[in-house]
Structure 1
Amino acid sequence: MINMAVRGDNRNVVASAKAGVDWTAGFANLDPAQFPMLRALTPYGDAVFNQRQVPLLLSELDRLPADLGGDWVGQARELCQVVERGLHLYLWFIGD
């Protein structure tokens, strides 16, 4: 399970998601040219997106195959909005 949270520069948690991303092989099979942001997700590592990367991530979420979706997608969008409205905020995908 990959958890999601928005953190500031000092890594304090500003917002977090209730749902997590259930890792499947489908994420590893995403086309890197079409999904460079989501390809950064791994089941055991962390991926961090800054304010400039969030629009790219949102675009990828719009194209995400249905079998990789779930509650986490809507919550990821909400966390992206938190990052876009703030300063020095980052969206973290935190692997186990």
Structure 2
Amino acid sequence: MIDLQVRGESGRIVASSRGFDWTQELIDLDAAMFPMLAGLCGYLDTVFNRRQIRILMAELDRLPAGLIPELARAQVRRLATLVGEGQHLYLWFCGD
């Protein structure tokens, strides 16, 4: 399971959401086509800054349907929007 959090520079959690299951399809993503999403790991935390969010969102738009449930996609978008509109915020994908 990968959960989602928006954190400030101090580490304070601003927003969070249940994420999605770590599947073989996500593990097998083509890193050349999905460099941000292919960098996720179900056992580690991965952090994206404001500039990286734009790339992540473009990848999410290209991601085949079903790899990440629609509710989880919506949560990624919601939290990414918070990061993009805020100051000194980061989107965390928190692995087990």
TM-score (norm 1): 0.95
Corresponding residue number in structure 2 for 1:65: 64
1: distance between equivalents of 2:64 and 2:85? 27
Calculate the aligned-residue CA RMSD, in Å.
0.8
1: distance between equivalents of 2:68 and 2:42? 16
Q: Give the % identical residues.
A: 52
Corresponding residue number in structure 1 for 2:39: 40
Q: Secondary structure at the match of 1:90?
A: strand
The one-letter code of the counterpart of 1:44 is: Y
Q: Deviations over 1:44-82 (max 9, x none)?
A: 100000000000000010011112121111100000000
The one-letter code of the counterpart of 1:34 is: M
Structure 1 segments of 4+ aligned residues over 4 angstroms from their partners: none
The one-letter code of the counterpart of 2:83 is: V
C-alpha deviation, 1:20, in angstroms: 1.2
Matching of residue 75 in structure 1 with residue 75 in structure 2: yes
Gap runs ≥5 in structure 2: none
Corresponding residue number in structure 2 for 1:12: 12
1: distance between equivalents of 2:66 and 2:80? 21
Gap runs ≥5 in structure 1: none
Q: Secondary structure at the match of 1:60?
A: helix
Name the structure with the higher strand share. 2
Q: Secondary structure at the match of 2:51?
A: coil
Q: Is the contact made by 2:49 and 2:83 (CA closer than 8 Å) also made in structure 1?
A: yes
Q: Is the contact made by 2:31 and 2:39 (CA closer than 8 Å) also made in structure 1?
A: no
